[in-house]
Amino acid sequence: MTRRNTPVIIGVGQSSDRIDGPDYRAWSASDLAAAAARSAIQDAQAADPQALYSAIEAIATTRTFEDSLPVEPAFGKSSNFPRSIAQRLLIDPRCAVWAKAGGNSPQDLVVEFAGRIAAGEFEVVLITGAEAISTVRHARAKGLALDFAEDPAGAVEDRGPGIEELLDPLTLRHGVDNAPVGYALAENARRARLGLSVEDYAQEMGRLFAPFARIAHGNARAAWPVPAYSAEELAAVDGHNRWIATPYPLHLVARDQVNLGAAVLLASEQAARRLGVAQEKFVYLHGAAKASEKPLLRRADLGASEAARAVVRATLQRADIAVDEVSFFDFYSCFPIAVSNVACDELGLSPEDPRRLTVTGGLPYFGGPGNNYSMHAIAEMVEKLRAQPGARGLIGANGGNLSKYSAGVYSTAPRAWWDFDLESLQRLLDARAEPTVLAGFEGLGTIETCSVQHVRGVPLHAVVVGRTGDGARFIARSREGDDALLRAMMDRDPLGAAIVVTAEGDLNRFVLQS
């Protein structure tokens, strides 16, 4: 590969359509993604912007929530998301890719298409995505009629939802059917490992996320006006900060009710110079890695993702830097453990690190536009790096239930491209030992981790992951209507408690041992 094929980011853009804004337009996800793409093209400041539009040979998009889950869209949707965006931009790229679901996908797409540019397959690539969840919910609540259905022509490489790791029948039927419960089980397992009380751990989570809220409070691009919450306010459960799934109250989880879009424009150095893009716009990818974690119940430590930690280690090594040499960070922050697992437990960073652990304000406060959040993080990172030439920034992007992780180190400092080995790390991770998992179990056990799921602040059911006397792992849930058990689970620390498990059809049911 010659230097002229070195891939660089030449443009970034973001868009929003706040329902409380004076210019609210009820945009679809395609509209938002196209608006962000126009901003990215404008940001490149090419000598001839129209020539830059015409030079785009590939468009790749993240997947909206509506396209990721088996749900019927309220107002219809595009049958070909990448081509809907391309039509709005009046371009017809020869390649269109519709990525799999996962918060890791923006970073994955940047690495993939940077490599394809380096290999000479493309010269200019547009990567974009968006969510209009706020508009959909607003319109449904108001009884408004919208029409987001469209069927654009053009070939597309549709990679499918890719959510197989979230569809494990054993965990699904026991109540691990949403992200808060899955992450809550991991979070409480981490608390058990650290030996912290419920109250002390709640303060730790608040202390971790309070700086995120302060950054979002000062970020004009945030999806809504965000208070500069204190750690104590984030940890306190009340009418405004109700329980979602223990240990999470509302203000400690990602908020997906947003209308946000973001885009990244990649090009080879040769194409960028030919199009008149200035060197000052170039941002290089210095290091990257990605990997997938074992399914939830097969992880040796439920309170960690070793895959995510290994990815961050490998990314820094490939960028040939230590963590102290990184000037900016953005760790995916759907739930506290997504940050603490890598930033605190692996890299030893403090929540009060003056460099901060996010450039946007994070998913609970800046906004969580589904699989596309890290596109915003990359866009914000590029702007910060251009303002501080030579500095390095680390992006950590997470998908599934701590299931997939992708990371990258970026800088304006020129760096020749080299192909990152994205497979050997996965082979090492797959070879790790894993516990025995029992689909069915009856007898005495001990709670390894647990969570009580709530609906509008009211306890619904409890899920536990336990261990048998000989160390095998099982999962169980409370019986419907067992309010006394739920109160007991809320009133005391249930971690390590003895339970009695019985079989009820294909479910394992549990009660606390008296």
Q: What is the pLDDT of residues 493-514, one digit of tens each?
A: 999 999 999 999 999 999 999 7
Which one, of 166, 106, 179, 392, lies nearest residue 295 by Cα? 166
Q: Which CATH class is domain 3-165+258-430?
A: alpha beta
Looking at residue 362, what is its pLDDT?
98
How does residue 320 score in pLDDT terms, banded at 50, 70 and 90?
very high
Residue 51, pLDDT score: 98
**How many CA atoms does the CB half-sphere of 446 hold within 13 Å?**
11
Query: What CA–CA distance (Å, rounded) separates 327 from 288?
Result: 17
| pLDDT for 1 | 44
279-302 pLDDT per residue, tens: 999 999 999 999 999 999 999 999
11 in helix, strand or coil?
Answer: strand
Mean pLDDT value of segment 260-266: 98
- Please determine, for residue 164, whether its predicted confidence score (pLDDT) is greater than 80: no
- Distance (Å, rounded) from C-alpha 171 to C-alpha 122? 42
pTM exceeds 0.85, yes or no: yes
- Sheet of 7-16: strand order equals 7-16, 259-268, 124-132, 58-61, 95-98, 157-158
The ranges assigned to domains in the chain are 3-165+258-430, 443-512
Max Cα separation, the chain?
76
Rounded Cα distance, 304 and 509, in Å:
26
Select 443-512's CATH number: 2.120.10.30, 3.30.390.30, 2.40.50.840, 3.30.230.70. 2.40.50.840
pLDDT: is 244 or 423 the higher one?
Answer: 244
d(CA 445, CA 498): 6
The percent of residues above 70 in pLDDT, for the chain, comes to: 99
Q: Is residue 477 over pLDDT 60? A: yes
* Whole-angstrom Cα Rg for the chain: 23
CA 78 to chain centre: 23
> Chain-wide mean pLDDT for the chain?
96
Question: How confident is residue 2, by pLDDT bands cut at 50, 70 and 90?
Answer: low
In this model, does residue 126 exceed pLDDT 60?
A: yes
* Res. 120 pLDDT band, cuts 50 70 90: very high
* Cis peptide upstream of residue 369 (ω within 30 degrees of 0): no
Q: Looking at the predicted structure, is the pLDDT value of residue 80 above 50?
A: yes
